Amino acid sequence: MYLLLSSEGTTTEFLKATSIKQNSYYLGIPVEFRFYNTDYHFIRSYTKLGAVFNYRVSTSTNIDFTDYRMDVYEKEMAAQVDKPNSFNAMGYACFGLRAGRENGPSLNIELQCPAFVITPDSSSLTKPNTGAGLQITLQFPIGSK
């Protein structure tokens, strides 16, 4: 791909890049409904419907140039790449496995499929509609009465 470095008068400069990688990190608030498929066992499966509302904490953009000597322009070019919106939301269905005693700590491994983006215009380089994900959680009951 070609990235525009400058264009003035009759001179235009591009840099050739092999890839642009953008990583965004979010803090999210999930809302989930879990349905166990079986009665209590130490390991049991469940399905889940959920949504998560995310706030973008940070974003980093890295560009791999074809010519390594162009790396000096990476910061300048990365600044031209749009960042995702500060907020986004996703909905998902999950299939998961829970390992642990009924009222004790547990380990949950979940496959999110499908996961769909509720706010499709919130991204920058891509416009994701659907996808898949993996989530591993540790669950601790911390109070009861």
Partner 1 sequence: MKKLILIIPAVVLFISGCSSSDNLDNSVYIYDEEYTDLPVYTEWGYNTFGAYLDRDVFISGSSIPAKVFSTGNTTTFALYGTLTGDYNQMILKFILEGYKPAEYKDLVSLNDSTINLAGSLCKVCLTLNGEEDTLHILNGELYFKRVQHLYVDKQSAETIMSGYFQLQMLIDGTPSTISHGRFDVGISYDNFYAY
Residue ranges that bind partner 1, judged by CB under 8 A: 1-2, 7, 9-16, 19, 65-67, 69-70, 90, 103, 112, 115, 123, 125-126, 128, 131-145
Question: Which residues lie below 8 Å from residue 108, measured CB to CB, with a gap of 6+?
Answer: 96, 97, 98, 99, 135, 136, 137, 138, 139
- Diameter of the chain by CA atoms? 76
Smaller CB distance to partner 1: residue 79 or 138?
138
Give, for 78, the enclosing helix (H) or strand (E).
helix 74-78
Q: How far is the CB of 13 from partner 1 (least distance, A)?
A: 5
Q: Give me the least distance between CB of 107 and partner 1, in Å please.
A: 8
CB of 27 to partner 1, least distance (A): 11
Which CB, 47 or 113, lies closer to partner 1? Answer: 113
Residue 41 or 120 having the CB closest to partner 1:
120
Distances from the Cα of 127 to the Cα of 8, 16, 78, 130, angstroms = 31, 23, 19, 9
CB of 38 to partner 1, least distance (A): 20
Residue 66 half-sphere exposure, CB side, CA atoms within 13 Å? 8
And the tokens for 139? 């669950």
Q: Which is closer to partner 1, CB of 43 or CB of 125?
A: 125
